[in-house]
Amino acid sequence: MSQRHVPVMLQRCLDLLAPALRRPGAVVADCTLGLGGHSEALLDRFPEARLIGLDRDKEALRLSGERLAPYGERATLVHAVYDELPEVLDRLGIARVQGVLFDLGVSSMQLDEADRGFAYAQDAPLDMRMDQTTGIGAAEVLNTYPAGELVRILRAYGEEKQAKRIVAAIVREREKEPFTTSARLVDLIRDALPQAAKRTGGNPAKRTFQALRIEVNGELSVLERAIPAAVKVLDVGGRIAVLSYQSLEDRLVKQVLAAGAASTAPPGLPVVPERYQPRLKLLTRGAELPTEEEIADNRRAAPARLRGAERIREDVE
């Protein structure tokens, strides 16, 4: 499993979280457990820390459970979506955590398992659900959503400039036969795009697949709730690190962390009251990028963007 999953920007994530996790009794939440690579490193580096690992994918929980079994009761793994962190902690009787890690996007396992339908490079059923026990898959989205809604999704979640052209082709083809597999969708997109659009930006299907995946899993709406919720359960002196892989995620993370690090006082106050003071201190200058060496070793690290912050003040009502 360690060969199959190379944790992205691992050393930098550990270094960002280290000052908070060296405390006795520290608790760290890995909100996107995946195959457990980051979690295993956290448990190794901070032998006094307890880990709470969340994942919506039951197969990921099973595999990471095997990987983290040697750590015994130091690792508690929970089937949950990452915006459910406060509820998970409440059930476990934990008031605050000292560290939070998010590694957003699709896990290595989901990309590598052909039957999950995440990868446009191999033919598979169009599913794309991170939790295969609930919700609708990508095929149902393609086959049932009105054309206008599909255009909105491709533009908003895939930043696809050719959304109208692609959706017109989808609607034409689904009337002949419903979509079931990824290869047919990839071929349709390739045929629908003008030559100039196919010459730039890698595989022409990647933006459509990204958009469908985000829609199927409600990723951005979940993330909008998840980052503020994580900050809320972070102890003073605690730290949060977030890895994102596309601009929509990174922009949202940036907005939440920047808002927490800004004063909310009206301009011109001679003394800023406590309730207007920033709650966070940013730990990264903008978004940090993986090194060229890491990208050479692990191509999936290439789009990664890392942001971190420290909780410096309690909320004041």
For residue 139, being part of any structural domain is answered with yes
CATH number at residue 51: 3.40.50.150
161 and 285 housed in the same domain: no
41 and 104 housed in the same domain: yes
DSSP code string of 56-118? S-HHHHHHHHHHHGGGGGGEEEEE--GGGHHHHHHHHT---EEEEEEE-S--HHHHH-GGG--
Paired tokens of 177: 């036969």
Q: In whole angstroms, give the CA distance from residue 28 to residue 79.
A: 16
pTM above 0.85, yes or no: yes
185 and 238 housed in the same domain: no
209 and 230 housed in the same domain: no
Mean pLDDT over the full length of the chain: 90
pLDDT digits (tens, 9 = 90+) for 218-260: 999 999 999 999 999 999 999 999 999 999 999 999 999 999 9
104 and 229 housed in the same domain: yes
CATH number at residue 190: 1.10.150.170
Is the pLDDT assigned to residue 94 strictly greater than 90? Answer: yes
SS3 148: helix
Last residue of a domain, one of 192, 217, 242: 217
For residue 253, being part of any structural domain is answered with yes
Among 220, 307, 316, CA closest to 263: 316
Paired tokens of 140: 């149902």
SS3 239: strand
Q: How many CA atoms lie within 13 A of 206 on its CB side?
A: 12
For residue 243, being part of any structural domain is answered with yes
Is the pLDDT assigned to residue 48 strictly greater than 70? Answer: yes
Residue 299: domain span: 10-109+219-311
Instruction: Pick the range with the lowest mean pLDDT from 149-158, 164-173, 294-303, 304-313.
Output: 294-303
- State residue 124's pLDDT score: 86
254 and 280 housed in the same domain: yes
250 and 199 housed in the same domain: no
What's the whole-number mean pLDDT along residues 170-183? 95
What's the whole-number mean pLDDT along residues 124-134? 87
For residue 4, being part of any structural domain is answered with no
For residue 3, being part of any structural domain is answered with no
- State residue 4's pLDDT score: 52
- State residue 122's pLDDT score: 74
For residue 149, being part of any structural domain is answered with yes
- State residue 199's pLDDT score: 61
Residues annotated within a binding site = 36-38, 55, 82, 103, 110
Domain count, the chain: 2
Residues annotated within a binding site for S-adenosyl-L-methionine = 36-38, 55, 82, 103, 110
Q: What is the percent of the chain with per-residue pLDDT over 90, rounded to a whole number?
A: 75
25 and 55 housed in the same domain: yes
193 and 275 housed in the same domain: no
104 and 236 housed in the same domain: yes
Q: In whole angstroms, give the CA distance from residue 165 to residue 196.
A: 14
182 and 236 housed in the same domain: no
Q: In what order do the strands lie in the sheet with 280-282?
A: 75-79, 50-55, 27-30, 97-103, 234-244, 305-311, 280-282
For residue 5, being part of any structural domain is answered with no
Last residue of a domain, one of 164, 183, 217: 217
137 and 208 housed in the same domain: yes
Distance of CA 69 to the CA centre of its chain: 24
What is the band of 132 on the pLDDT scale with cuts at 50, 70, 90? confident
Last residue of a domain, one of 175, 199, 217: 217
